[in-house]
Amino acid sequence: MAESVEQQLARFATATVLDDDARAMMRLSLYDWTVCALAGQREAVAEILIRKGEMEGGAPQATVIGGVRLPAPRAALINGAISHALDYDDTHFDHIGHTSVAVIPAALTMAQAQGRTMAEFIDAALIGSEAAIRIGTWLGRAHYQVGFHQTATSGAFGAALAGLRLIETTRPKIIAGLGLAASRASGLKCQFGTMGKPLNAGLAAEAGVEAALWAQAGLSAAERGVSGPLGFAATYHGENIGSAFDGMGADWRMKAVSHKFHACCHGLHAMLEALGSLNLTADEVASVKIATHPRWMSVCNNPAPRTGLEAKFSYKQAASMALMGIATGRVAAFDDAVALHPSVSAVAEKVTVVTDDSLTEMQARVTVTLKDGRVKDAFHDLSTTLPHDVLARKLRDKGRMLIGDAAEQVWDAVQGNSLRSYVDVLSETPSTGWEDGVDLIMEVLDYFDV
């Protein structure tokens, strides 16, 4: 009899020999997650959740970004939400999910609560991330397209496996943990552009930690709560794509994770890279046509954003900012005052968005008509693989942009072998200088002639 999905995942979590290249990519994603989380602690969603967590109190089992110590499930929730607050963390396009913001907070809190090492934490995060990618691929695009947020759904199962690996439990308990996670995994795309989106990531991390702890305590659950009749996939529009688990444990999909270098929805990045390659300015441009995969139209094609957060999901607004010379890699670009400035909105009216079935979800094509009648085209594909050293350099540059000199301390801690030293870094509140960044951009915009 063929193994169930739950049995395959339990075997993967306990018997897999990990790949060193995949571990190296996991450390790069941990660095990226950490700088995004440290920078994100200034966001309103972070302040609200930390304040609420402090009011609730409880046993100090794990560190929250900024230094507060709280019970493991609550710490996982807050860290997941904070790290996704800027929407600047990594994405995997196999299932269009942000694995790090769901899995790393769960692995981190469980590693602290269970007294594990840095190496054990990294391995658990890798197992959980790979599992989230595979589960998300197995659930398929129908699950995502109907309105479920893969970061929160497949991410919750990855978070659970990461936590379960760290308690060194048996396969039956891992299967129970997955079954328990099936009753908690949830999250909707309708939250995009609100604080509910980063909260989705936090809820996935919390669900994974609680499922692991419940299974450790002996709570039972359906043996096929994920894949069986009336299970998660059957009731959440899963496609049950069996090939999603082919090669699991040998072919590491985590190696193909995509990191962000623009502070907005990843669906906009191919467009921004293509537009940037043309080196044009807004005063040269008569019109812009953006061609994208149809699936992004329900994700990041907000035609009239009302906040900077909503602008992170708007082709028109992001394209306008890029044409006006606003560096979309800077968090300040998506401040309300910048993203909604009348000059930005005026240039956005020159932009139209169309769908093209021939493009993948990682590709975009832009066609720009200039005021002198010339037409310029550009294409970009995010799936182009960067050498490890180039990717590391770009991520370190991003880290310095987000948190300044503190980024080097983070790099050393992530590459090191001490979990305690790494956790100490999370207690810092580095200066970002975002306010100055907003002021400088506003000086340019206030004198921009549209």
In whole angstroms, give the CA distance from residue 239 to residue 273. Answer: 32
Assigned CATH topology for domain 266-382:
60s Ribosomal Protein L30; Chain: A; (3.30.1330)
Assign 417 to helix, strand or coil. coil
Specify the pLDDT at position 337: 87
Q: What are phi and psi of 69, to 5 degrees?
A: -110, 130
In whole angstroms, give the CA distance from residue 395 to residue 207. 29
Which token pair is 305? Answer: 């954003």
Give the largest CA-CA distance in the chain. Answer: 72
Instruction: Give the closest residue to 16 by CA, choosing from 191, 251, 188, 281.
Output: 251
Q: What is the pLDDT along the chain (450 residues), one digit of tens a residue?
A: 689 999 999 999 998 889 999 999 999 999 999 999 999 998 999 999 999 999 998 999 999 999 999 999 999 999 999 999 999 999 999 999 999 999 999 999 999 999 999 999 999 999 999 999 999 999 999 999 999 999 999 999 999 999 999 998 899 999 999 999 999 999 999 999 899 999 999 999 999 999 999 999 999 999 999 999 999 999 999 999 989 999 999 999 999 999 999 999 999 999 999 999 999 999 999 999 999 999 999 999 999 999 998 999 999 999 999 999 888 998 888 988 888 889 999 999 999 999 999 999 999 999 999 999 999 999 999 998 899 999 999 999 999 999 999 999 999 999 999 999 999 999 987 766 554 566 667 666 765 554
Q: What is the pTM of this model?
A: 0.92
In the prediction, which pLDDT does 338 show?
A: 85
Any idea of the CA torsion for 172, 178, 184, 186, to the nearest 10 degrees? -170
Model pLDDT, residue 332: 87
Amino acid found at 249: G
Instruction: Report the alpha-carbon angle 312-316-318, nearest 5.
Output: 40
**What are the boundaries of each domain within the chain?**
5-256, 266-382
Q: How far apart are CA 265 and CA 282, in angstroms?
A: 22
Question: Fold for domain 5-256?
Answer: 2-methylcitrate dehydratase PrpD (1.10.4100)
pLDDT, residue 432, reads 60
Strand ranges of the sheet holding 351-355, from the earlier edge strand across to the other edge: 351-355, 285-292, 363-370, 375-381
